[in-house]
Amino acid sequence: MAIQKSFTGIHIRNQSIRIDFMYKGIRYRHTLPLEPNKANIKYACQLRSAAIHALRTGKFNEKELFPHSRPKSQTLNAELQNLSLHYLSLKSVDITPETQARYKTALNECIKVLGIKKNIELLRPTDIQNLRVKLVSQHSVSTVNHYLTILNGFLKWCEDNQYNQGLSKYCKRFTSQSKEPDPLSLEELNQILFKGCLNLIDRASITLAVYTGLRPGELCGLAFEDVNQDQNTITIRRSITQSGTFKIPKTKKERTIFLLPPAQEAIKILMGYALDLPSQNAQVWFNRHQYREDHIHLLLSPKNLSKKTDIHFFYSPNAWNQKWSAIINRANVRYRPPYQTRHTYACWNLTARGNLAFIANQMGHADYSMLIKVYGRWMDSESSNEIELIWRNIQKPECPIFTTSDLQN
pLDDT in tens, 88-122: 999 988 888 888 999 999 999 999 999 988 888 78
Q: Looking at the predicted structure, is the pLDDT value of residue 164 above 50?
A: yes
Which whole number is the average pLDDT over 71-95?
78
**Strand-pair category, 233-236 with 239-240:** unpaired
Query: What pLDDT is recorded for position 406?
Result: 43
Backbone angles phi, psi at 295, to 5 degrees: -105, 105
Query: What pLDDT is recorded for position 368?
Result: 75
pLDDT band at 311 (very low <50, low <70, confident <90, very high): confident
Query: What pLDDT is recorded for position 74?
Result: 46
Q: Looking at the predicted structure, is the pLDDT value of residue 391 above 70?
A: no
Q: Looking at the predicted structure, is the pLDDT value of residue 336 above 90?
A: yes
Give the separation between CA 36 and CA 11, rounded to whole angstroms.
Answer: 9
- The structure's pTM equals 0.71
Backbone angles phi, psi at 309, to 5 degrees: -95, -20
Backbone angles phi, psi at 352, to 5 degrees: -85, 10
Q: Looking at the predicted structure, is the pLDDT value of residue 199 above 90?
A: yes
**Strand-pair category, 255-258 with 233-236:** antiparallel
Q: Which comes out higher in pLDDT, residue 388 or 368?
A: 368
**What is the set of domains in the chain, with CATH numbers?**
2-75 (no CATH), 80-170 (1.10.150.130), 186-351 (1.10.443.10)
Query: What pLDDT is recorded for position 144?
Result: 95
Q: Which comes out higher in pLDDT, residue 3 or 216?
A: 216
Cα–Cα nearest to 224, from 245, 208, 206, 210:
208
Q: Looking at the predicted structure, is the pLDDT value of residue 405 above 50?
A: no
Apex CA 211: angle with CA 205 and CA 216, to 5°? Answer: 55
Q: For the beta carbon of residue 313, count every other beta carbon within 10 angstroms.
A: 16
11-65: per-residue pLDDT in tens? 887 788 888 887 766 778 888 888 888 888 889 898 889 888 888 888 888 778 8
Q: Which comes out higher in pLDDT, residue 185 or 377?
A: 185
